Structure 1
């Protein structure tokens, strides 16, 4: 089954889809091995590992390359964070074409002005006019070649302080324009705001949440409330940063690595994640096939080409 179909089925299925943020093929593989249903190619994580703010500093090509590498590394579908579409409607058309060709299962675009700023950073979170964003949704859905390629519309009205009424107005417009799912974003410390939105929005498409700030909510809570998916958008990166800081500080303090060895992954685990055994098996297989091919030439009496 195509990954696009898998992602669509996950979002519309009876169970809450669990999606984990990633910034690299390695982090995506760890997420897949932890049995998450899908991977979120996180704009925040991809920007962070490049050492720049999540504010459209990286070009679309840079972000796409990271997402494509992630998609190629895992068997589960990848939903890509595409900010506000990297520009106007023409950029969105180009974006969808490139992301679909790269094997991404779906894209998520948000209704903020370009360049956007990470939702949890204090600053300008001006919303794009509804008409402009509806234009982007229609362009995205009509540009895709695979009808199962997922287009998610992310609503930032609650982040921008525009209120629940505006969030619902936008939700209805985006659903009518053909969005396959809506991501309702909130930075409150509790889930009441997204719960209220869930109760008030009666559209037919699934709702996705990102509980970064209201982190006590459980998947059982979200399933009961009627959400279609949850994205843990930045936790792999944050966990890695904390672990690396602690290990590096201890190595510097002790002047040796012997005291951290029990707390870090053995090299065998690294090699397993790199698929080293598969590489060596392939090498052996192809070398044997080459030997057999040359032996057949010798039996047939044909001259062999030598270097």
Structure 2
């Protein structure tokens, strides 16, 4: 029998994806890594590279749609993108849900729809709607702690353990200090979060280290070292970090490559000089499993069928 189609396989394996994500984020004694994906192609590439889980990046998805990371893309556009990421990779996907696109009601609706589309986890940040990307500007108002805890409880009451729920703390980004970050982390743990994502915009990981020391691993800690990328991985292992998210690197790599190729084609008026440096079509066809289509055609498009 041929293998089920990617769509069928994704729907049938939602539960196992959630358990895999829970193992990666919550129970794994080793440091885990999630790679950014923003569409089906980037998801397939990350899977082929060997990553075991993906981060559906809000920044990257919005950018790929031509929007800014300021809740300009809608929750339904995010959900549609996540479905393509899940189907193309067959990997567990942790979704960057921003602040939940509103209050508790919007957040629980988002969680329910993501569950239906095959997501394995949801990260919600304690910012106000509409949010602004953490690295843009200096004004980042935070949600009231109790109100955001209510959003988390609403998600838990809606999907239970069918999604891994990660509470993302923006207190350090907003300049509120470590005491506020720790206070919020405890409130979010009490509200049912499975893990805490602590975010920092510093170029060194000193805030992350201070947080883990104060937090004492009450819940697993997830980090996004976009700015403090020079910190060695050994430091995260020493601090007992659970998961590292490479949050936007596929998109940024694609932007750099596309800009270079477009500039050269325009300037040189030929593709002869760039062909050796771009992916051959055969590799693209292999990545997206065109051979499966040929096998399916041989099975389903039989001559007798075509005569009727």
State the TM-score, normalizing by the size of structure 1: 0.92
Q: Which runs of 5+ in 1 are unaligned?
A: 295-304
Compute the displacement of 1:205 (Å): 1.4
Partner of residue 3, structure 1: 17
Partner of residue 297, structure 1: none
Q: Structure 1 residue 185 and structure 2 residue 199: aligned?
A: yes
Structure 1 residue matching 2:99: 3-state secondary structure: coil
Q: Structure 1 residue 41 and structure 2 residue 21: aligned?
A: no
Partner of residue 112, structure 1: 127
Partner of residue 179, structure 2: 165
**Aligned counterpart in structure 2 of residue 89 of structure 1, from 81, 104, 122:** 104
Q: In structure 1, what is the Cα distance between the partners aligned to 2:232 and 2:292?
A: 37
**Which residues in structure 2 correspond to 1:221-236 (within 5 Å)?**
221-236=235-250
Q: Structure 1 residue 64 and structure 2 residue 79: aligned?
A: yes
Partner of residue 302, structure 1: none
Structure 2 residue matching 1:214: 3-state secondary structure: coil
Q: In structure 2, what is the Cα distance between the partners aligned to 1:52 and 1:98?
A: 22
Counterpart contact for 2:221–2:242, Cα < 8 Å = yes
Q: Deviations over 1:244-271 (max 9, x none)?
A: 1111111111111010011100000111
Structure 1 residue matching 2:55: 3-state secondary structure: strand
Structure 2 residue matching 1:231: 3-state secondary structure: strand
Pick the structure with greater CA Rg: 1
What is the CA RMSD across the aligned residues, in angstroms? 1.5
Q: Structure 1 residue 136 and structure 2 residue 143: aligned?
A: no
The count of aligned residue pairs is 293
Q: Deviations over 1:160-195 (max 9, x none)?
A: 001110000000111111100010000000011101
Q: Structure 1 residue 22 and structure 2 residue 34: aligned?
A: no
**Aligned counterpart in structure 2 of residue 151 of structure 1, from 165, 169, 174:** 165
Counterpart contact for 1:40–1:79, Cα < 8 Å = yes
State the TM-score, normalizing by the size of structure 2: 0.92
Structure 1 residue matching 2:153: 3-state secondary structure: helix
Q: Structure 1 residue 103 and structure 2 residue 118: aligned?
A: yes
* Greater CA drift, 218-227 or 2-11: 218-227
Compute the displacement of 1:36 (Å): 1.5
**Aligned counterpart in structure 1 of residue 301 of structure 2, from 287, 298, 306:** 287
Partner of residue 270, structure 1: 284
CA spacing shift, 1:142–1:203, aligned 2, 3 Å = farther
CA spacing shift, 1:306–1:75, aligned 2, 3 Å = closer
